[in-house]
Amino acid sequence: MLERSFDTARINEVVNHPSVRPYVGPGDSFADVTPLVEDTDNWFLMGEHGGFGLTQTVPGVHEIHTFILPEGRGAWARDAAQALLDFARENGDNRVWTKVPLDQKNVEVYTRRAGLKPTGEEVELFGKPYKIFGLEFSQCLS
């Protein structure tokens, strides 16, 4: 369902899709993730309807960035989240984490259903508050 990808054209296409780009970062200019993809400590997992970027924060820990196109939201996205977690665990991660905007309850529900739990931490990024969610793989049963 997901494969590690180095196809920067495809990844950039999804990241810059009008339904995804507003949630990637500030501004509306083209977001080029090529340097992140080329860094082998980062993993980009892509499938039919988009995927995820996992940027390494320290060895054994990656931050999850989600890039799912509208047609993949729902059952496909749930299955893709499980594939992402399986990949991270199988490739040596001890923990994954992500930032969820406080005003996007749908993203929080998706994150919780994937098994990530609030850490109690919040950060502000680009003038917007985010709640931090994480998962230690020793807590993951599947």
Q: What is the pLDDT of residues 1-25, one digit of tens each?
A: 999 999 999 999 999 999 999 988 8
Average pLDDT of every residue of the chain: 95
pTM for the structure as a whole:
0.93
pLDDT single digits (tens) 80-94: 999 999 999 999 999
Residue 142 pLDDT grade (very low, low, confident, very high; cuts 50, 70, 90): very low
CB 68 within 8 A of CB 80: yes
Structurally, the chain folds into a number of domains equal to 1
Letter for the amino acid at 72? G
Which residue from 38, 68, 41 is spatially nearest to 55, judged by alpha carbons? 41
**CATH number for the domain including 126?**
3.40.630.30
The DSSP symbol for 29 reads S
pLDDT of 56 higher than 60: yes
Report the share of the chain in percent with pLDDT over 70.
Answer: 97
Provide the Cα torsion 56, 75, 4, 136; round to 10°. Answer: 30
Q: Which structural domain range is residue 9 located in?
A: 3-25+33-139
pLDDT of 141 higher than 90: no
pLDDT single digits (tens) 94-109: 999 999 999 999 999 9
CB 61 within 8 A of CB 96: yes
pLDDT of residue 111: 97
Q: Which residues of 11-39 are buried (b: 16+ CB within 10 A; e: fewer)?
A: bbebbbbeebbeebeeeeeeeebeebbee
pLDDT of residue 139: 53
Phi-psi bin for 52: left (phi > 0), alpha (psi -120 to 50), beta?
A: beta
| Cα gap 30→14, rounded to integer Å | 11
